[in-house]
Structure 1
Amino acid sequence: MFPNLIGLGIQDPKLIERYSLRQEALKDVLKIYFRKQKGELFAKSVKFKFPRQVKNVLIDSGSHKYKEVTEINRSLTMIIDELNKITKPVPSPDADVKQKILSDLRHLEKVVSSKIAEIESDLEKLK
């Protein structure tokens, strides 16, 4: 049913909760988040990097000048289509960008706090 996600090694695509996509230099980074399972402190996630396709586009036919542009990998677009079928993302207006950033910041604070607590606990065990 989801051949591209299964091809990435995802055993049960129905456990996917959400995903994020960002660009780093000449790569697109896809991060897939799974629903938190019983007994887990944090939900699991996996990260995949896809090289961007580089194309030369004619910008001036008179002087035959070309410009190098990059675009998303075709296989990644098919994966995103499958992810959208699973997650059914709701388009958010620009006003929600601030709220999303604040939410991401709060999540990062929780992750860092939990990791610090885990490391401190491990240190206590060594005494």
Structure 2
Amino acid sequence: MSKNPTLTKMGITSVENIDKYTVQHQGEVDVLKIYYKRPKGSLLSRSKKFSFMRGRNYLPIEARNSKAFDQMESINPELMHAIDELKQLNATREKDSKMDPKQRMIADLDHLEKVMTSKIDDLRRQIEEMK
């Protein structure tokens, strides 16, 4: 049996290449974005995005003689399992490599600079194509 059944079910096969992940709440949807470490020039995607609808639970409102129900949103169980598996992967990696916080921040800045440069270049290319 797989160590990461939820991630495998989501189609993630190369868990050793996962660099980091983020979770964002967008209305009634939670978005899990997984980032990968890829060598320069790789044709594989650097990230994958997964959307999970929030469930709705209806709870009785605590009011005198009230039969009303209040909506309460809950996080998708599959998302919770995926986050747990990603946390376990991250914990294992952090034990293996303890990076100095200063080095980590510099690496994050370098990555951000690459992403921003790439995005700016892409936008300039799109503008040039409009002419």
* Fold conserved between structures, TM > 0.5: yes
- 1:60: which partner in 2? 62
Q: Distance in 1 between matches of 2:122 and 2:69?
A: 54
Closer, same or farther in 2 for the Cα pair 1:121/1:86, shift >3 Å?
same
Aligned to 1:117: 121
Unaligned regions of 5+ residues in structure 2, if any? Answer: 95-104
Residue in structure 2 matched with residue 77 of structure 1 by the alignment: 80
* 2:9 pairs with 1:7: yes
Fraction of identical pairs, as percent:
32
CA 1:120/1:51 → structure 2, altered by over 3 Å: closer, same or farther? closer
Report the equivalent of 1:93.
none
Go from structure 1 to structure 2 and tell me whether the alpha carbon gap of 1:55 and 1:39 turns closer, same or farther (over 3 Å shift).
same
- The 1:64–1:116 alpha-carbon spacing in structure 2 relative to 1, beyond 3 Å, is same
Partner of 1:27: 29
CA distance in 2, matches of 1:31, 1:111: 15
Question: 2:53 maps to which residue?
Answer: 51
Report the aligned-residue RMSD.
3.4
**Paired residues of 1:15 and 1:35 also in contact (CA < 8 A):** yes
Provide closer, same or farther for how the CA distance between residues 66 and 3 of structure 1 changes in structure 2, counting only shifts above 3 A: same
Aligned-partner SS, 2:82: helix
Could you list the runs of 5+ residues in structure 1 that have no partner in the other structure? 91-99
| TM-score after normalising by structure 2 | 0.68
How far apart are 1:116 and its partner, in Å? 2.9
